[in-house]
Protein backbone atom coordinates (compact mmCIF):
# COMPACT_ATOMS: atom_id res chain seq x y z
CA UNK A 1 0.00 0.00 0.00
CA UNK A 2 1.29 3.45 -0.90
CA UNK A 3 1.35 6.00 1.91
CA UNK A 4 2.25 9.67 1.89
CA UNK A 5 1.47 13.01 3.43
CA UNK A 6 2.68 15.81 1.17
CA UNK A 7 2.66 19.53 1.92
CA UNK A 8 3.46 22.19 -0.68
CA UNK A 9 5.02 25.02 1.33
CA UNK A 10 7.95 27.42 1.18
CA UNK A 11 9.41 25.82 4.32
CA UNK A 12 8.71 23.11 6.93
CA UNK A 13 6.41 24.04 9.82
CA UNK A 14 8.78 24.66 12.73
CA UNK A 15 6.05 24.48 15.40
CA UNK A 16 5.59 20.75 14.65
CA UNK A 17 8.82 19.59 16.27
CA UNK A 18 7.45 16.05 16.57
CA UNK A 19 7.22 15.75 12.76
CA UNK A 20 9.89 15.29 10.11
CA UNK A 21 9.61 17.32 6.91
CA UNK A 22 11.72 15.85 4.08
CA UNK A 23 12.00 17.77 0.82
CA UNK A 24 10.68 15.70 -2.09
CA UNK A 25 13.49 15.11 -4.59
CA UNK A 26 12.88 15.91 -8.24
CA UNK A 27 12.61 12.77 -10.33
CA UNK A 28 11.30 10.68 -7.42
CA UNK A 29 7.95 8.90 -7.27
CA UNK A 30 6.65 11.53 -4.82
CA UNK A 31 7.75 14.34 -7.16
CA UNK A 32 5.69 12.69 -9.90
CA UNK A 33 2.74 12.45 -7.49
CA UNK A 34 3.14 16.13 -6.54
CA UNK A 35 3.15 17.21 -10.19
CA UNK A 36 -0.18 15.41 -10.69
CA UNK A 37 -1.82 16.62 -7.48
CA UNK A 38 -0.38 20.15 -7.34
CA UNK A 39 0.14 21.15 -11.01
CA UNK A 40 0.20 24.90 -10.22
CA UNK A 41 2.59 24.72 -7.27
CA UNK A 42 5.40 27.22 -7.07
CA UNK A 43 6.92 26.06 -3.78
CA UNK A 44 8.77 23.08 -2.41
CA UNK A 45 6.93 19.87 -1.61
CA UNK A 46 7.62 18.13 1.69
CA UNK A 47 6.93 14.57 2.75
CA UNK A 48 5.76 14.59 6.38
CA UNK A 49 6.04 11.81 8.96
CA UNK A 50 6.05 11.46 12.72
CA UNK A 51 9.61 11.86 14.05
CA UNK A 52 11.46 8.54 13.77
CA UNK A 53 8.41 6.65 12.46
CA UNK A 54 6.95 5.44 9.18
CA UNK A 55 4.69 7.77 7.21
CA UNK A 56 1.53 5.87 8.13
CA UNK A 57 2.06 6.16 11.88
CA UNK A 58 0.68 9.71 11.93
CA UNK A 59 -2.67 8.45 10.63
CA UNK A 60 -2.72 5.42 12.93
CA UNK A 61 -1.98 7.63 15.94
CA UNK A 62 -4.83 9.98 14.95
CA UNK A 63 -7.19 7.01 14.61
CA UNK A 64 -6.30 5.73 18.08
CA UNK A 65 -6.73 9.20 19.60
CA UNK A 66 -10.16 9.57 17.98
CA UNK A 67 -11.18 6.12 19.25
CA UNK A 68 -10.11 7.30 22.72
CA UNK A 69 -12.47 10.30 22.46
CA UNK A 70 -10.33 13.09 20.99
CA UNK A 71 -11.70 15.30 18.24
CA UNK A 72 -9.83 15.11 14.93
CA UNK A 73 -8.97 18.80 15.31
CA UNK A 74 -6.98 17.99 18.46
CA UNK A 75 -4.79 15.25 16.96
CA UNK A 76 -1.37 16.03 15.52
CA UNK A 77 -2.70 15.15 12.08
CA UNK A 78 -5.71 17.44 12.53
CA UNK A 79 -3.52 20.30 13.76
CA UNK A 80 -1.20 19.86 10.77
CA UNK A 81 -4.13 19.87 8.33
CA UNK A 82 -5.61 22.99 9.94
CA UNK A 83 -2.24 24.76 9.85
CA UNK A 84 -1.77 23.97 6.15
CA UNK A 85 -5.27 25.22 5.33
CA UNK A 86 -4.75 28.41 7.35
CA UNK A 87 -1.53 29.08 5.44
CA UNK A 88 -3.31 28.24 2.18
CA UNK A 89 -0.72 25.53 1.50
CA UNK A 90 -1.71 22.55 -0.59
CA UNK A 91 -1.46 19.08 0.89
CA UNK A 92 -2.35 15.52 0.05
CA UNK A 93 -2.96 12.79 2.56
CA UNK A 94 -2.92 9.27 1.18
CA UNK A 95 -2.92 5.82 2.73
CA UNK A 96 -4.66 3.73 0.07
CA UNK A 97 -4.23 2.31 -3.43
CA UNK A 98 -4.79 5.02 -6.11
CA UNK A 99 -3.79 8.65 -5.52
CA UNK A 100 -5.13 10.13 -8.76
CA UNK A 101 -8.78 10.56 -7.70
CA UNK A 102 -8.51 11.91 -4.15
CA UNK A 103 -11.67 13.34 -2.57
CA UNK A 104 -11.50 17.10 -2.05
CA UNK A 105 -13.38 19.56 0.10
CA UNK A 106 -14.13 23.24 -0.41
CA UNK A 107 -14.21 24.24 3.27
CA UNK A 108 -11.89 23.40 6.17
CA UNK A 109 -14.74 21.91 8.22
CA UNK A 110 -15.67 19.61 5.34
CA UNK A 111 -12.11 18.40 4.96
CA UNK A 112 -11.66 17.72 8.68
CA UNK A 113 -15.03 15.93 8.63
CA UNK A 114 -13.88 13.75 5.73
CA UNK A 115 -10.66 12.84 7.57
CA UNK A 116 -12.55 12.20 10.82
CA UNK A 117 -15.07 9.93 9.04
CA UNK A 118 -12.30 7.87 7.42
CA UNK A 119 -10.37 7.51 10.68
CA UNK A 120 -13.47 6.21 12.47
CA UNK A 121 -13.96 3.25 10.11
CA UNK A 122 -13.17 0.13 12.09
CA UNK A 123 -12.51 -2.89 9.89
CA UNK A 124 -9.70 -4.49 11.83
CA UNK A 125 -6.23 -3.04 11.57
CA UNK A 126 -6.30 -1.76 8.00
CA UNK A 127 -6.68 1.94 7.34
CA UNK A 128 -7.58 3.80 4.16
CA UNK A 129 -7.28 7.55 4.39
CA UNK A 130 -7.17 10.01 1.53
CA UNK A 131 -7.86 13.70 0.99
CA UNK A 132 -6.61 16.58 -1.11
CA UNK A 133 -6.55 20.30 -0.33
CA UNK A 134 -5.23 22.39 -3.20
CA UNK A 135 -5.99 25.45 -5.26
CA UNK A 136 -5.90 23.06 -8.23
CA UNK A 137 -8.64 20.79 -6.85
Q: What is the pLDDT of residues 57-91, one digit of tens each?
A: 888 888 899 989 999 999 999 999 899 989 989 88
Q: Is residue 124 predicted with pLDDT exceeding 80?
A: no
DSSP conformation class of 52: T
Integer Cα distance of 29 and 116 in angstroms: 28
Helix or strand or coil: residue 108?
Answer: helix
Helix or strand or coil: residue 119?
Answer: helix
Q: Which residues contact 45 (CB under 8 A, 6 or more apart)?
A: 6, 7, 8, 23, 24, 30, 31, 34, 38
Range of the domain at 85: 2-133
Which is more confident, 136 or 118? 118
Q: How many domains does the chain have?
A: 1
Integer Cα distance of 62 and 74 in angstroms: 9
Structure confidence at residue 71 (pLDDT): 93
Amino acid sequence: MTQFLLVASTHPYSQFSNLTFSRVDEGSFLADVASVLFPSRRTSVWSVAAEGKETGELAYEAREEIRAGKKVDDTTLGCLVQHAMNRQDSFALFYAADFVQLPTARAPESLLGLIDEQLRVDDGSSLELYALWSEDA
